[in-house]
């Protein structure tokens, strides 16, 4: 929840108000996040935890994912400018005109990238999974890891209760841009092979 | 406060008589003497001189507010003084204690990082979830640079916010005076048209920093975005990320605190960026004092909108007869309004009601806080300067 | 005067009184309230609570509880040990430390104690227990892996290998 919050909260705020639309968006986000976890589980098991243990190959990979996530967020923030078009000026309610499929695709892309962003607890879980007997066991491990962590996402559906207006969407877009800057700084530093933390 | 202290509101009001202004200033004079010369206070010749100068300064400014019936211009003298003198006193203390503005890791481990009010909103969620303060300070007074500790700063912030709400940003913040001073330098703004959506910037910074602080379990604003590390202290860079962080704060200071205020004559850091300011805006809902626009008198000429240093008035809000949530109660709009439509107001009373009475009550509360907190900062800065001169 | 206006003026008057009471009552009240909330500074900074002390002649070694990262903190889990007082430490410290209190030494710690308190410190840690990571000529690299002097103590933080 803490890892995905900076990405999920502002992107949810650019979507329709209402518990159902937010639940749908969250489902797409979490589904793609699970896919990201399963992909990582398979990779980690297949190469015997090599990618997850050695810092050198891991850092450019993490850096690349972070840069991709930053670009995705910037594009999302930019494309959300159409959400508040003429229908929005001066009015309180928002008519979000983008199709449901495109919104679902954006949610899935963000979910996949946050799933792959390899936060430290996730890496630790990956090392554990890589030590298991088979790729099926590794995937099952991550499914349980996913279910256990996804429970914490349920409260995010409550963001649907916040009325959407031009101010809320503008704040959400700006927040996405700031979070993108953070991921971009880290990603670039990791791609350069520089020591990131400490 | 006698009711005949209020003059007719239409047209140019005559200044209050010196005698009456002095009478109204007397409580503040006594308050200043109490704040600066109480038993157990600062001793030493330099401190006595510094305290004396500050007491005279604060009392004189209040007298001028009473005499001229104007607020903004005199408040700005105080606020800019705090903004200039705080870094002088603080940096001198830092250099004397450890010889560098960079905070070494030892000081962070020892819990001696001074706590400023800016990270307060960012610490709430981590503290609520884990009872942990994600700041390398001390909860209680810890000595050294820690000064009074996290609990003391939070207690001070709570008390002042209870009294003046978002007036904190005009009477207590020890950083805002820098850009207010820079904004006062040019006669006219170079950039006149500013997209009003930038006013939402502080809320976005607040949301991003709250989320990142919870995720990273550190005060993300302090580590990544605070422009005022340029005039206080910063985490000594130990790696590439540290260098990036230090580069960011220098750029933000140069841009938001120096260049943009000079070009726009607005408090751009406060209006478009400061997450603490966004958080303080919530307390405008709880504050009993506010500024209202009397619709029976308003033209509208939007002079108030132009004069507001934080863009806290819009055409829509003027039509509603109120300021936006971001109003810092600086008094600029009231002072500039030619028809006296912008007025100080106490919630629950009629508009316009008794605006001068509302103004006086607000100023007694606000100036008491200003003398107590900002005054001590001014005295500290003056004492530092005297120390170098002597 | 209407009731609302009376209430408004009353609240405004109380606010002015609150202002006068701030330095004498309110500030102290709120400060004590915050202090009484049972909050603590993040252990990544403070090093965690002390759990044991090993007496070693004229100086002692305080062992702290292991600290584990929260949320997305990128620091590794570590355990902090404090050698104090510095004035009683020999020029070269070479200690076998039983960190987990099971009676067997877990790590071998070696560092010089310079006379100049501002001189940089370096430490070598050789793990005798696979739970702890080795450190070679480590300085103050990160919060989870360092040697620093704080007041009259020398603090060493050793990362855990397999938390």
Per-residue pLDDT tens digits for C61-80:
999 999 998 766 778 899 99
Mean pLDDT of B233-255: 86
Structure confidence at residue C92 (pLDDT): 95
What subunits touch chain B, counting only 3 or more CB pairs under 8 A? A, C
Looking from the CA of B129 toward its CB, the CA atoms found within 13 Å total 15
Count interface pairs A-B at CB distance under 8 A.
Answer: 69
Per-domain boundaries in chain B: 15-99+355-390, 105-286, 289-346
Mean pLDDT of chain A, nearest integer = 71
- The shortest CB-CB distance from B109 to any of C38, C73, C150 is to C150
Q: What is the pLDDT of residues C39-49, one digit of tens each?
A: 999 999 999 99
pLDDT band at B227 (very low <50, low <70, confident <90, very high): very high
Question: Domain range holding C92?
Answer: 43-159
* % of chain B beyond a pLDDT of 90: 72
Q: How many domains does chain C have?
A: 2
Confidence tier at A114 by pLDDT (50, 70, 90)? confident
**C30 interaction partners in chain B (CB closer than 8 Å):** 154-156, 158-159
Q: Tell whether A186 is covered by a domain.
A: yes
Whether residue A187 is contained in a domain is answered as yes
Cβ–Cβ < 8 Å for A131, A54 = no
Which residue is closest to A1 within chain C, CA to CA? C71
- CB spacing of C72 vs A196 below 8 angstroms: no
- Is there a single domain that holds both residue C19 and residue C49? no
| Chain C residues touching A6 at Cβ < 8 A | none
CB within 8 Å: A185 and B241: yes
With CB atoms and an 8 Å threshold, state whether A197 touches C141: no
In the prediction, which pLDDT does B228 show?
A: 93
Nearest CA in chain C to B32: C20
Please report the pLDDT score of residue B11 as a whole number.
Answer: 46
Spatial neighbors of C127 by CB under 8 A, at least 6 apart, are: C106, C107, C133, C134, C161
Judged by DSSP in three states, C155 sits in strand
Whether the per-residue pLDDT at A120 is higher than 90: the answer is no
A41: Cβ contacts below 8 Å, ≥ 6 apart: A126, A129, A135, A138, A139, A141, A142
Q: Tell me the nearest-neighbour CA distance from B197 into chain A, angstroms.
A: 7
Dihedral sign (CA B219, B223, B224, B227):
positive
Give the whole-angstrom CA distance, residue B302 versus residue B296: 15
Residues of chain B with Cβ-Cβ distance to C35 below 8 Å are: 139-140, 151
Which residues have a Cβ under 8 Å from the Cβ of B281 and sit 6 or more positions away?
B166, B202, B325, B326
CB contact under 8 A, B215 and A179: no
The answer, yes or no, to whether residue B280 has pLDDT greater than 80, is yes
> Please, are residues B122 and B221 in contact by the beta-carbon 8 Å criterion?
yes
pLDDT > 70 in chain A, percent: 64
Report whether pLDDT(B146) > 50.
no
Q: How many residue pairs from chains B and C have C-beta atoms closer than 8 A?
A: 157
Question: For residue A197, is it within any domain?
Answer: no
Chains that touch A (3 or more CB pairs under 8 A): B, C
Picking from B159, B167, B371 by the largest number of C CB atoms within 10 A of its own CB, the best residue to mutate is B159
Do residues C50 and C23 both lie within one domain? no
Query: How far off is chain C from A88, nearest CA to CA, in Å?
Result: 36
Residue in C5, C47, C149 closest to B348 by CB: C5
Q: Which residues contact A75 (CB under 8 A, 6 or more apart)?
A: none
**In angstroms, rounded to a whole number, what is the distance separating the alpha carbons of residues B306 and B303?**
5
CB count within 10 Å of CB B297 equals 18
Q: Specify whether C33 is located in the same domain as C56.
A: no
Domain count, chain A: 1
pLDDT score of A194:
62
Same domain for C71 and C97, yes or no, is yes
Q: A183: domain range?
A: 5-191
Q: Is C54 helix (H, G, I), strand (E, B) or coil?
A: strand
Asked if the structure places residue A15 within a domain, the reply is yes
- SS percent in chain B: helix, strand, coil, step 5: 65, 5, 30
**Strands (DSSP E) found in chain C:** 40-41, 50-56, 59-64, 78-84, 92-97, 107-112, 123-127, 135-138, 140-142, 145-150, 153-159
- Residues A74-80, mean pLDDT to the nearest whole number: 82
Averaged over A61-76, what is the pLDDT? 83
Contact B127 C155 (CB under 8 A): no
Q: Is B239's CB within 8 Å of A197's CB?
A: yes
Q: Does B105 touch chain A (CB under 8 A)?
A: no
Contacts of C28 in chain B (CB under 8 A): 155
C34 and C58 fall within a common domain: no
Residues 58-77 of C with CB under 8 A from A: 69, 71-75
Q: Which of A16-25, B199-208, B352-361 is predicted with the least confidence, judged by mean pLDDT?
A: A16-25
Judge whether residue A136 has pLDDT over 90: no
pLDDT at position A131 over 70: no
Count Cβ atoms below 10 Å from residue A152 Cβ, excluding itself: 12
Do the Cβ atoms of B105 and C143 come within 8 Å?
Answer: yes
> Who's near A69: CB < 8 A, 6+ residues apart?
A7, A110, A113, A114, A117, A180, A183, A187
Contact A186 B215 (CB under 8 A): no
Q: Is a pLDDT exceeding 70 seen at residue B161?
A: yes
Tell which of C74, C77, C139 to mutate to test the A interface (max A CBs under 10 Å): C74
CATH number for the domain whose boundaries are B289-346: 3.30.70.20
Looking at the fold, whether C64 and C17 belong to one and the same domain comes out as no
CB contact under 8 A, A120 and C72: yes
Instruction: Please say if the pLDDT value at position B3 is more than 50.
Output: no
Chain B residues with beta carbon closer than 8 angstroms to that of C34: 139, 150-151, 154-155
pLDDT at A57 over 70: no
* Sign of the torsion angle spanned by Cα atoms B380, B383, B385, B387: negative
pLDDT (tens digit, 9 = 90+) per residue, B75-89?
A: 999 999 999 999 999
Please name the residue of chain C whose CA is at the shortest distance from the CA of residue A198: C142
Per residue in A20-38, pLDDT (tens digit) is 778 888 888 878 877 777 7
Is C144 an 8 Å CB contact of chain A? Answer: yes
The full DSSP string for A50-86 is HHHH-HHHHHHHHHHHHHHHHHHHHHHHHHGGGTSSG
Q: How far is A4 from chain C (nearest CA, A)?
A: 10
- pLDDT-derived band of residue A86, with 50, 70 and 90 as boundaries? very low
Helices and strands counted in chain A (H then E): 8, 0
- Is there a contact between A25 and A7 (Cβ–Cβ < 8 Å)? no
**Cβ distance A44 to A61 under 8 Å?**
no
Report residue B1's pLDDT band, with 50, 70 and 90 as the boundaries. very low
Measured in angstroms, the CA of C108 and the nearest CA of chain B are apart by 23
pLDDT score at B148: 62
Residues C160 and C163: their CA atoms lie apart, in Å, by 6
- At residue B6, does pLDDT exceed 50? no
**Residue B14 confidence (pLDDT) above 90:** no
* Residue B372 predicted with pLDDT over 80: yes
b/e map of B256-283 (b: 16 or more CB within 10 Å)? bbbebbbbbbbbbbbbbbbbbbbbbbeb
- A119 versus B283: the higher-pLDDT residue is B283
Instruction: Considering only the beta carbons, identify the residue of B197, B207, B240 that sits closest to A175.
Output: B207
- Interval B265-273 mean pLDDT: 96
Give residue B381's pLDDT band: very low, low, confident or very high (50, 70, 90). Answer: very high
CB-based contact B50:B379 (threshold 8 Å): yes
Q: How far is CA B28 from CA B24, B364, B366, in A?
A: 8, 7, 11
Determine whether the interchain pair A196/B239 forms a contact, defined as Cβ–Cβ distance below 8 Å: yes
Residue A87 pLDDT greater than 50, yes or no: no
The arithmetic mean of pLDDT across residues C110-128, rounded, is 94
Chain mean pLDDT for chain B: 90
Neighbours of A85 (CB within 10 A): 12
Over pLDDT 70: what percentage of chain B?
A: 95
Asked if A160 contacts A23 with a C-beta cutoff of 8 angstroms, the reply is yes
Segment of A121-125, A188-192, C33-37 carrying the highest mean pLDDT: C33-37
Query: C42 touching A, CB under 8 A?
Result: no
- Examine the pLDDT at B347 and tell me if it is beyond 80: yes
Say what the ipTM of the complex is. 0.90
Q: Is B198 exposed, middle or buried (0-12, 13-18, 19+ CB in 10 A)?
A: middle
Q: Count of H helices and E strands in chain C?
A: 3, 11
C148 to chain B: which residues are within 8 Å by CB?
A: 105-106, 109
């Amino acid at each position: 929840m803490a890892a995905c919050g900076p990405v999920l909260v502002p992107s949810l705020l650019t979507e329709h108000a209402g518990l159902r639309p937010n639940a749908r968006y969250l489902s797409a986000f979490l589904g793609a996040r699970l896919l990201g976890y399963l992909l990582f589980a398979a990779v980690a098991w297949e190469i015997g935890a090599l990618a997850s243990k050695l810092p050198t190959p891991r850092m450019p990979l993490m850096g690349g994912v972070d840069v991709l996530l930053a670009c995705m967020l910037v594009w999302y923030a930019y494309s959300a400018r159409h959400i508040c078009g003429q229908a929005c000026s001066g009015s309180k309610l928002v008519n979000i005109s983008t199709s449901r499929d495109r919104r679902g695709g954006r949610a899935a892309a963000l979910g996949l990238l946050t799933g792959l962003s390899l936060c430290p607890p996730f890496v630790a879980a990956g090392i554990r999974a890589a030590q298991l007997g088979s790729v099926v066991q590794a995937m099952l491990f991550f499914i349980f890891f996913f279910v256990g962590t996804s429970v914490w996402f349920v409260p995010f559906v409550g963001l649907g209760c916040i009325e959407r207006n031009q101010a809320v969407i503008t704040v959400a877009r700006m927040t996405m841009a700031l979070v993108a800057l953070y991921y971009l700084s880290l990603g670039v530093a990791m791609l350069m092979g520089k020591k990131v933390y400490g | 406060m006698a009711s005949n202290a209020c003059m007719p509101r239409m047209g140019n009001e005559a200044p209050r008589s010196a005698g009456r202004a002095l009478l109204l200033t007397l409580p503040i004079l006594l308050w200043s003497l109490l704040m600066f010369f109480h038993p157990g206070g600062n001793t030493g010749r330099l401190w006595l001189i510094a305290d004396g100068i500050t007491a005279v300064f604060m009392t004189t400014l209040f007298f001028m507010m009473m005499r001229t019936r104007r607020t903004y211009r005199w408040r700005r003298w105080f606020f800019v003084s705090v903004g200039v003198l705080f870094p002088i006193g603080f940096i001198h203390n830092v250099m004397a204690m450890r010889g560098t503005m960079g905070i070494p890791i030892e000081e962070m481990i020892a819990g001696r990082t001074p706590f400023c009010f800016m990270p307060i909103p960012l610490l709430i969620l981590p503290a609520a979830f884990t009872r942990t303060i994600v700041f390398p300070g001390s909860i209680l007074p810890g000595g050294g640079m820690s000064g009074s500790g996290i609990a003391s700063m939070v207690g001070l912030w709570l008390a002042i916010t209870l009294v003046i709400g978002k007036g904190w940003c005009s009477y207590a913040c020890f950083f805002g005076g820098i850009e207010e001073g820079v904004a006062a330098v040019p006669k006219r703004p170079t950039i006149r048209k500013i997209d009003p959506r930038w006013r939402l910037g502080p809320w976005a910074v607040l949301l991003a920093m709250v989320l990142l602080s919870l995720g990273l379990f550190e005060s993300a604003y302090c580590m990544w975005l605070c422009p005022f590390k340029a005039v206080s202290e910063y985490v000594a860079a130990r790696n590439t990320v540290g260098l990036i962080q230090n580069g960011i704060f220098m750029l933000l200071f140069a841009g938001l605190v120096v260049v943009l205020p000079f070009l726009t004559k607005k408090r751009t850091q406060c209006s478009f960026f400061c997450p603490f300011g966004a958080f303080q805006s919530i307390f405008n809902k709880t504050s009993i004092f506010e500024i209202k626009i009397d619709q029976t008198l308003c033209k509208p000429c939007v002079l108030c909108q132009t004069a507001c240093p934080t863009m806290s008035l819009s055409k829509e809000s003027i039509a509603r007869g109120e300021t936006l949530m971001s109003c810092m109660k600086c008094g600029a709009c009231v002072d500039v309004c030619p028809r006296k439509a912008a007025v100080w107001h106490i919630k629950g009373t009629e508009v316009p009601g008794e605006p001068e009475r509302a103004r006086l009550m607000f100023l007694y509360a606000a100036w008491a806080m200003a003398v107590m907190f900002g005054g001590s900062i001014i005295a500290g800065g003056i004492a530092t300067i005297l120390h170098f001169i002597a | 005067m209407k009731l609302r206006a009376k209430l408004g003026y009353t609240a405004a008057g109380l606010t002015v009184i609150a202002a006068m009471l701030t330095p004498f009552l309110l500030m102290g009240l709120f400060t004590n309230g915050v202090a009484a909330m049972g909050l603590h500074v993040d252990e990544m900074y403070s090093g965690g609570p002390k759990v044991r002390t090993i007496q070693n002649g004229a100086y002692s070694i305080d062992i702290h509880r292991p600290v584990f990262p929260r949320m997305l903190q990128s620091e590794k889990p570590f355990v902090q040990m404090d050698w104090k007082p510095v004035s009683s430490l020999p020029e070269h410290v070479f200690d076998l430390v039983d960190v987990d209190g099971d009676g067997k030494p877990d790590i071998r710690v070696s560092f010089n104690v310079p006379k100049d308190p501002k001189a940089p410190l370096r430490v070598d840690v050789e793990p005798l227990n696979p739970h702890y990571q080795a450190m070679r000529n480590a300085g103050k690299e990160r919060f989870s892996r360092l040697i620093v002097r704080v007041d009259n103590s020398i603090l060493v933080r050793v990362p855990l290998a397999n938390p």
